[in-house]
Amino acid sequence: MRTILLLILLAVSAPIVAQSEDEKQLRAIYDMALTNGKAYDWLNHLSNQIGGRLSGSVQAQQAVDYTKGQLDSLGLDRVWLQPVMVPKWVRGTPEFAYIETKPGLTTNVPICALGGSVATPEGGVKAKVVEVQGIEDLEKLGREKIEGNIVFYNRPMDPKLISTFASYSGCVDQRYSGAAEAGKYGAAGVIVRSMTLRLDDYPHTGSMAYGDTPVANRVPAAAISTQGAELLSTTLKLNPDIKFYFKQSCKQFDDVESFNVIGEIRGTTHPNEIMVIGGHLDSWDLGDGSHDDGAGCVQSMDVLRLLKETGYKPKRTLRVVLFMNEENGLRGGNKYAEVARNKNEKHVFALESDAGGFTPRGFSFDCSEENLAQVQSWKGLFEPYLIHMFVKGYSGADIGPLKHEGLVLAGLRPDSQRYFDHHHAENDTFEHVNKRELELGTATMASLVYLMDKYGTIPDTKIKG
């Protein structure tokens, strides 16, 4: 009986004492984020003074300079640039496309080249259209029906999934591999329905790859707006012999030098244990990349500032990393992990914000059950901030290459409903980011970083031992 009582007392009293201090620190973090956050102002500059930051562009370099300057001003222990060679793909003249129902009778539709695509011949491509619901349809159709035609991938994102990221995952193979696959059957080009759940006039770009397709066999690929896709599909149902014309002049140049932007606060007691907080500084070129991923960058920067301003002295080294080239190469993420390995740096935790600056709902974790259980024991601390989601799952592209046994990888999970309305499109712009939603994300990240630093992750050796 006494033992049970003691256990109960321990179980009840220990968390209460610990919580009280943690509760205070979380409250301080949220208060400062909501009353004196810097993220929104930084994002305003990145978005409205610089704009879209495609790897290798002037804007990407401006963003490197700007964010380094801002980190320099925060009084961190060290700020530096980490060189990395990145691909340079340029869109060129705005793309142009139309549906030709009969010679001379055409309707323009909004398209944009997919990132990494080759250009069309200078006069464009005009051909009949074969509509498919996915790559698996190509084999059934065979070379006979595809050769010389434009393949039109039109499988929409599934609106029934609550996570729009799950809908996206179920469709994005069309965009990424559609051209490489259609090229094998002699297609003249590829048009892909934009990866969004909205019906509107914005084409959404994004990365694609030709794999081992010989250069001579690479076919141009473009995204068409969802309204354009609906029109094209309907028109094809009325007359399968209509033609589609598109022209794009995008070009891949030689790789150029760019940088990851890094700043850190040295840990007081475990300086060799590194905790990374980051987003990616590059974006696509159509909008200004506010949600993808300006938001994640400015949040990550503000996490360090908030912890510093609230007077917290981290035990471990906190490192903000603004990764270059997530969108079309992941060179920054790979370079960062490579350097870390070469230097034998010990990373214990990495958190990425790359799902938009929307109201945070929680985190997904790529880690051991033991570490997940520890995180879930903190749930109560996050309740007042309406943060409920602490699940296993994907963390983030840029921190992925760091993955090793014992490392806790985490991704911020904001509300996902509006993300793909803007993703990789002209309307990914500053006015679609709500200041408070962005700041709540920052505070939620900073709170997790604080707890992870204070209590430490559970090392793999301990779990196994």
Binding site for a second copy (CB under 8 A): 30-31, 34-35, 159-160, 162, 164, 197-198, 359, 361, 384-386, 388-389, 415, 417-418, 421, 434-437, 440
For the stretch 254-264, what's the b/e string if a residue is b when 16 or more beta carbons lie within 10 angstroms of its beta carbon?
Answer: ebeebbbbbbb
Question: Letter for the amino acid at 89?
Answer: W
Which residue's CB is nearer to a second copy, number 105 or number 391? 391
Which residue's CB is nearer to a second copy, number 102 or number 388? 388
Q: How far apart are CA 300 and CA 310, in angstroms?
A: 16
Which residue's CB is nearer to a second copy, number 164 or number 395? 164
Query: Which is catalytic among the residues 95, 131, 181, 326?
Result: 326
Instruction: State the residue for tokens 């509509």.
Output: 131
Please state the closest distance from residue 302 (CB atom) to a second copy, in A: 15
Question: How would DSSP label each residue in 129-188?
Answer: EEEESSTHHHHHHHHHHHTTSEEEE-PPP-TT-SSHHHHHHTTHHHHHHHHHHHHTTT-S
Nearest to 251 by CA among 102, 87, 28: 87
Which residue's CB is nearer to a second copy, number 101 or number 434? 434
Task: Report whether 318 contacts 327 (CB < 8 A).
Answer: no
Please state the closest distance from residue 164 (CB atom) to a second copy, in A: 8
Please state the closest distance from residue 418 (CB atom) to a second copy, in A: 5
Task: Report whether 150 contacts 189 (CB < 8 A).
Answer: yes
Structure tokens given for 210: 């030709």
Please state the closest distance from residue 417 (CB atom) to a second copy, in A: 5
Is 147 labeled as catalytic in the residue annotation?
A: no
Please state the closest distance from residue 198 (CB atom) to a second copy, in A: 7
The three-class DSSP label of residue 285 is coil
Nearest to 69 by CA among 57, 81, 58: 81
Please state the closest distance from residue 196 (CB atom) to a second copy, in A: 11
Which residue's CB is nearer to a second copy, number 86 or number 197? 197
Which residue's CB is nearer to a second copy, number 30 or number 210? 30
Angle value at C-alpha 186, between 180 and 187, nearest 5 degrees: 70
Q: How far apart are CA 126 and CA 140, in angstroms?
A: 24
385 burial (CB, 10 Å; 0-12 / 13-18 / 19+) is middle
**Residues assigned a catalytic role:** 326
